[in-house]
Structure 1
Amino acid sequence: MDFSRLQASSKIGEDWVYPQPPCLNFGWLEVDRDPAHRIYWEEYGNPAGEPVMFLHGGPGGACAPVMARFFDPKRYRVILFDQRGCGKSEPTVASAGPVVALAKNTTADLIGDIEKLRDKLEIGGPMHVFGGSWGSTLAMAYAIQHPAHTASLILRGIFLGAPEDLLYLYQGNAATWEQDPYGLTEPGAYMKYPAEWAELLSVLTPEERKDVMKSYKAIFDMVPTTEAEKERQLKAALTWSLWEGVISNMIPETADTGKFGEADFALSFAQIEAHYFANELFIPAGHFFDHIDVLASIPVHIVHGRFDEVCPLTQASRLAQALRDAASEPATYIVTNAGHSAMERENALALTAIMDGLPRLGES
């Protein structure tokens, strides 16, 4: 029996509202020394339009030109940039190794980079800050530190980064998987993606599976001295990267893994993520809720996929409730019939609709 018509991609495909705009300008900005960090940036849309600072996911995910398609190119001036250590920024983990690329690579450093990029591009007033997944985390952290520069927050796939959020994604039933791979001993993304979960755990020994994130971090921190160690480190990076890349889509794109299956991307992406996760995102516990009054003073627009297994909907629910408790209903709260990725059709269309409906900067 032919089942091919029963499964179709959940990605946006040809349904974008706006065409791909041309890149107006690009460059590298030196943001640090010893070691030097240069971040790569691109500009799209209307040079005189309302500024939008786009914050990509990961950490370590990097930007792509398609990310400018959420925005009306006649209205918005869209800034894409690759965060430290990834994409076209320099140095990357893949090119220079983790010791160099992860030095001075913290949330505070990334917030500082946004401010330096604002100055470079002469963005004097408030701007829209748009971020998904880790980008939502960074957007909120930036807004708390620089509320006067944040006209609105447009957040997709809320990631709060609490210990339970990471355990859901990376630990699940790993400790008992060897004895009972399909046992539902703990909540986790493995329940929806058992084959991909088996791949993630295949890199580790049963003992290492007792703490998946710690064990992967140890592999990434290893300085390979043999070809076998080098191969294991690359396999670990690719497996880590593919786990998140595949489960980000409600309908997994197993035949086309895109950038997540590319060695250089995976080496940077996996090692930057493990670096941030091992350091609790370089954000104090409870930071967003301790400063919910600041976030409540800014219009917060939330889009979250009901079927998101990377960042389950409970994370958006916690944020929305905290805003309500601070007497500030989210300006928008849309739960889509989609997964995690911004490129899921329902997520992409909801985000574009929000941007089209925002009050113009300067209007009361």
Structure 2
Amino acid sequence: MDFSRLETSSKIGDGWAYPAVEARKSGWLAVDAEAGHRLYWEEYGPADGEPVMFLHGGPGGACSPEMARFFDPARYRVILFDQRGCGKSEPNVAAAGPAAALAHNTTADLIGDIETLRDALGIAGKMHVFGGSWGSTLAMAYAIAFPHHCASLILRGIFLGAAEDLLYLYQGNAATWHEAPHALTAPGAYIAYPDEWGELLSILTVAERTDVMASYKTIFDTVPANEAERRKQLDAAVAWSLWEGTISNLIPEHAATGKFGDADFALCFAQIEAHYFANNLFIEPGHLLGNTATLASIPVHIVHGRFDQVCPLTQASRLVDALRGAGAKPATYIITNAGHSAMERENALALTAIMDGLPRITA
């Protein structure tokens, strides 16, 4: 049988509208003397371009140069930065441990960091705020706090972070999986990715699977006393990371897991996510949708994959309904035939098209 015509990837590949470019400037910015946090940042595009603050996902996902390719390099001044505890920012969870890197690491701290970075880079007027997944959450939280600094919000893969959203991603049929791994006993991403789900659950005992997130958090919070405990913690971090990384793509890429299979990335990503998820994202329940009147005062552009299993489309639907209820439908609402990742071809093309069509920021 000839399988050569089947699609092997749903990522954008060589379909980018704009070429990869090198950062024009980069550096570290001290944002918290008490906890010792320094943010690593990079700047792309012309110094006098329209500023775009890029907010990566996760939390703990970090940035990469490819993320600057959504933007016309002749028009936009793009700021990429690694949020507290991850990427090249310091202290880093993988290098310094969670006690140091997760200290003073909350949503309020990250919102303050955006303001500090904005001031340090001399951004005095409005800016476009671009975020996907957790980045969409942080973008909305920032816009609620500082609406006068936002020319527009460009949001991909809306993540509201309600309990039901996290249960869909991390709990599903876990409690009964050992008895009937393919039984549809509850909603969940496991339905579309059963093999990957099994890998995530294989780290845990049957008893631990009654609360997957809490059990993983317990493993991450343990201070390893020996090599076996260190190995268990690393294996758990990689399993957590690969679960989200793999199912982010409509066509899973098991042979090319990229950063999600890297030990250092996984330690940061998994432990920072677990830290935020255990604390309700450090956001009061209902805060985002309860402040849609503020969000509605800003042009909101939304791209969401119809087949997104990390952040199902229902989360975008709830946000759109809330915006309409506040009297302002989204400036753009595109449902793509894609999964979760910004690097999925249709998501990347839609985001680029939105950026190309935005009204210019005027003084």
With normalisation by structure 2, the TM-score equals 0.99
Which residue matches 2:46? 46
Deviations 1:277-321 (A, max 9, x none): 000000000001211100000000000000000000000000001
Cα root mean square deviation, aligned: 0.8
Which residue matches 1:88? 88
Which residue matches 1:276? 276
Which residue matches 1:123? 123
Which residue matches 1:23? 23
For residue 2 of structure 1, report the CA deviation from its aligned partner: 3.6
Distance (Å, rounded) in 2 between the aligned partners of 1:221 and 1:124: 40
Equivalent position SS for 1:361: coil
Which residue matches 1:192? 192
Aligned: 1:152 with 2:152 = yes
Which residue matches 2:204? 204
For residue 4 of structure 1, report the CA deviation from its aligned partner: 4.1
Aligned length: 363
Deviations 1:107-160 (A, max 9, x none): 000000000000110000010000000000000000000000011000000000
Displaced runs of 4 or more, over 4 A: none
For residue 226 of structure 1, report the CA deviation from its aligned partner: 1.9
Which residue matches 1:327? 327
Which residue matches 2:246? 246
Which residue matches 2:306? 306
Deviations 1:214-235 (A, max 9, x none): 0000000001112111110000
Which residue matches 2:172? 172
Q: Decide which moves more: 275-284 or 224-233.
A: 224-233
Aligned: 1:352 with 2:356 = no
Which residue matches 2:163? 163
For residue 5 of structure 1, report the CA deviation from its aligned partner: 3.0
Structure 1, unaligned stretches of length 5 or more?
Answer: none
Distance (Å, rounded) in 2 between the aligned partners of 1:270 and 1:83: 14
Distance (Å, rounded) in 2 between the aligned partners of 1:170 and 1:223: 24
Which residue matches 1:138? 138
Which residue matches 2:286? 286
Equivalent position SS for 2:310: coil
Equivalent position SS for 1:211: helix
Which residue matches 1:340? 340
Distance (Å, rounded) in 1 between the aligned partners of 2:355 and 2:7: 30
For residue 34 of structure 1, report the CA deviation from its aligned partner: 2.4
Which residue matches 2:79? 79
Equivalent position SS for 2:164: helix
Structure 2, unaligned stretches of length 5 or more?
Answer: none
For residue 33 of structure 1, report the CA deviation from its aligned partner: 1.9
Distance (Å, rounded) in 1 between the aligned partners of 2:252 and 2:5: 15
Distance (Å, rounded) in 1 between the aligned partners of 2:33 and 2:100: 11
Which residue matches 1:8? 8
Distance (Å, rounded) in 2 between the aligned partners of 1:95 and 1:20: 29
Matched to 1:325, the amino acid is G
Which residue matches 1:266? 266
Equivalent position SS for 1:160: coil
Matched to 1:30, the amino acid is A
Deviations 1:35-72 (A, max 9, x none): 20000000001110100000000000000000000000
Distance (Å, rounded) in 1 between the aligned partners of 2:268 and 2:6: 35
Distance (Å, rounded) in 1 between the aligned partners of 2:37 and 2:284: 25
Distance (Å, rounded) in 2 between the aligned partners of 1:223 and 1:84: 21
Distance (Å, rounded) in 2 between the aligned partners of 1:201 and 1:297: 43
Aligned: 1:181 with 2:181 = yes
Distance (Å, rounded) in 2 between the aligned partners of 1:289 and 1:27: 35
Equivalent position SS for 1:334: strand
Matched to 1:281, the amino acid is L
Distance (Å, rounded) in 2 between the aligned partners of 1:254 and 1:153: 33
With normalisation by structure 1, the TM-score equals 0.99
Equivalent position SS for 2:225: coil
